Amino acid sequence: MKLKQISVFLENRKGRLWEALDALANAKINIRALSIADTSEFGILRLIVPDPDMAKKVLEKGNFTVKENNVVAVEVADKPGGLAEVLKVLSDADINVEYLYAFVEKSGEKAVVVLRTENTDAGIKALKTAGIAILLAEQVYAL
Amino acid sequence: MKAPEIIRPDSYWQKQDEIIGKEALATLQLEHLTKSLRRVYSNVPFYHTRFDEAGLDPENIKSLEDIRRLSFTTSDDLRANYPFGLLAVSKDEVVRVHTSSGTTGRAKAICFSKNDIECSATLIARCLVMTGTGKGDILQNMMTYGLFTGALIMHYGAEKVGALVIPAGPGNTERQIQLMRDFGTTVIHITPSYSLYLASALQQKGIDPRKDLNLRRAYLGAEPYSEETRKKIEAIYGIDVYNSYGLTEMSGPGVAFECGYKNGMHLWEDHFFAEIIDPETGEVLEDGQEGELVLTSLRREAMPLIRYRTRDITKIITGVCECGRTHRRISRILGRSDDMFVVKGVNVFPQQIEQVLMGIKGVAQNYQILLESYDHLTIRVEIAKELFDGNIEHLLQLQTEITDKVRADILVKPKIELLEPGALPVSEGKAKRVIDNRTM
Ligand SMILES: [Zn+2]
């Protein structure tokens, strides 16, 4: 149920994001989803890739500071209120969401939301109990 | 952390000289000063003129304070008299010259007679025995051999006390580690920045210096560094770290050195006469007040220097040291009067910032101070690799913590840039900490 996500620390230097993405492209690593959190002085690039261990190796070889985290991916209907429903489930269970990002799958009917909760296991449990479909890693990579 | 190693109380190289009484020392100083002043008056035209201008008669010196009438000798004077202008002996008596280029202008040349080298080696021998190094020790000397005095003078002193010396020189970290392992190095002589770099190299190779090496102590010199950094280095290596102070102009390292009590460096006053001055006004300050160290060599033959401005900021530590040595101590070097910068009207030494940074968890060893305008201070800090957990909140907290702690210390609010580990240029010699892009 858990999905591995790669977080990359990016200092505020021109071209550093491009260097990270270029390193992955050269290693023929496909990026399924990507999000950037940044402040004026630094940022974090988050990635979902089919082979996270490989991606981590490639990035570390390029002197990037990388961390693997567990996240959860859920499918929500691509219509108003779809995401709100998921968040309500977690909020009712008193589970703190650190961040989330979404991408729309190819068919365009459903959106995939990547969630990072403070406690991943508790998050999964709450979502399951509420009957929300959690995507397996293979399903996300196949999107 | 373990307590500092306290060396046996009878460990002296020259016991009588090291525990000399206050009055006997003053008499000895005056005797050597008078001799030295007479020699430079007759042999060095530069000083001859200076003495005449000040109305100082070297045949009529009554007290050590008489030299306060003379103006200071500066590094500019050394440059202007390059290479042999300040020689007090004939050129034939010179057996060694060291030069330091500095970043601006001409080089400085420092000449040594045979006896000058012997004296410096003897002072180093005092320092080594004072800190427990002797026969059976293996000293890996990671300072630069060559035109810089740091390595050579330490080398002679270490051989004098019977230690085995590995003249490794700086850099080539792989080989340093190999030598330390193969020979069971017990003592290293190293710059603070290189010791931190070496520590991270060891860590990367999975070598725990506390378990896998035979190190007992390190002598750190050539760059000012903070007490926090000392503690950090002691903890990483599981060793005792002693501060060493010297400058080529005064024959290199061994001018002042810490004893087992690590509370300031004993300055060998039977060889040097020390004054602390206000760097702005030149006024001589009381013991205990912070200022620039001014040294007069008492026994150098080839090139005696009178009231030489070292540019190093320190203070005299008052009171008697428990080790029994009577030579007064100076505090660790708080900075170079040249390194001090002014931002928002406040005087700041890079070491103040370093002290704050080294006390914060999550900060790696490297940092840089960037000055782009007169009211903005940017500090670029590498984060520790272990700190990064993918959570941006934690990075923001770190940024705020650094900002607040630096502001509390220097009263200027800095902008903190967090950098990737290894982003800043790594230094195997002296680290360049301040980048000043301001135009006058
Ligand atoms: Zn002492």
Confidence of residue B318 (pLDDT cuts 50, 70, 90): confident
Average pLDDT over residues B86-110: 85
- Of the two residues B32 and B349, the one the predictor is more confident about is B32
pLDDT at residue B6 tops 70: no
Contact residues, chain A, for B423 at CB < 8 Å: 11, 13
How high is the pLDDT of residue B101? Answer: 62
Average pLDDT over residues B25-31: 97
What is the whole-number distance in angstroms between the Cα of residue B244 and the centre of ligand 1? 13
Band of pLDDT at residue B368, cut at 50, 70 and 90: very high
Is B383's CB within 8 Å of A9's CB? Answer: yes
Distance CA B251, CA B98 (A): 9
Mean pLDDT for the stretch of residues A65-88: 87
Domains (range + CATH), chain A: 2-67 (3.30.2130.10), 70-142 (3.30.2130.10)
Decide if pLDDT at B329 tops 50: yes
Q: Does position B437 have pLDDT exceeding 90, yes or no? A: no
Q: Which of A5, A7, A11 sits opposite B420 (nearest CB)?
A: A11
All residues of chain A having their beta carbon less than 8 Å from the beta carbon of residue B391 are 98
pLDDT at residue B428, rounded to an integer? 52
| pLDDT for residue B426 is more than 80 | no
User: According to the model, what pLDDT value does residue B150 have?
Assistant: 86
Determine the pLDDT at residue B343. Answer: 87
- The gap from C-alpha B159 to its chain's centroid, in whole angstroms, comes to 21
The CATH code of the domain at B1-339 is: 3.40.50.12780
Sheet (strand B187-190) strand order? B164-166, B138-141, B187-190, B217-220, B240-247, B252-258, B265-267, B329-330, B316-317
Question: What confidence score (pLDDT) does residue B438 get?
Answer: 83
Task: Give the pairing type, strands B240-247 and B217-220.
Answer: parallel
Distance CA B168, CA B161 (A): 19
Instruction: Please state the rounded mean pLDDT for residues B138-147.
Output: 93
Instruction: Spell out which residues of chain B touch residue A65, defining contact as CB-CB under 8 Å.
Output: 383, 385, 388, 420-421
Section B8-16 average pLDDT: 85
Comparing B46-60, B170-184, B418-432, the range with the smallest average pLDDT is B418-432
Rounded CA-CA distance B367/B260 in Å is 30
CATH number corresponding to B341-436: 3.30.300.30
Return the pLDDT at B5: 65
Q: Across residues B38-62, what is the average pLDDT?
A: 95
Label residue B417 left, alpha or beta by phi (over 0 means left) and psi (-120 to 50 means alpha): beta
- Residues bordering ligand 1, an ion, CB closer than 5 Å: B 259, 321, 323, 325
pLDDT of residue B197: 87
Of the candidates B10, B226, B245, the residue with the CA atom closest to the CA atom of residue B130: B10
pLDDT at B1: 43
A5, A7, A8, A9: best mutation site toward chain B, by most B Cβ within 10 Å?
A9
Give CA–CA dist B369/B279, Å, rounded: 23
For residue B328, the model assigns a pLDDT of 96
Domain ranges across chain B: 1-339, 341-436
pLDDT beyond 80 at B288: yes
Q: What is the pLDDT of residue A109?
A: 73
Distance CA B270, CA A134 (A): 80
* B309 phi and psi angles, rounded to 5 deg: -80, 115
> What is the ipTM, given to two decimal places?
0.84
Say if residue B103's pLDDT is above 80.
Answer: no
C-alpha distances (whole Å) from A110 to each of A50, A106, A133, B4 are: 20, 9, 12, 66
Most confident of A74-83, B232-241, B354-363: B232-241
Mean pLDDT of B172-188: 96
Q: Which of A33-37, B43-47, B341-345 has the lowest mean pLDDT?
A: B341-345
Could you tell me the pLDDT band of residue B430, with boundaries at 50, 70 and 90?
Answer: low
Residue B157 CA to residue B215 CA, distance in Å, equals 19
Q: Which residue from A13, A41, A67 is facing B416, i.e. has the nearest CB?
A: A41
Q: Which amino acid is at A114?
A: V
Q: Write the single-letter amino acid at B426.
A: V
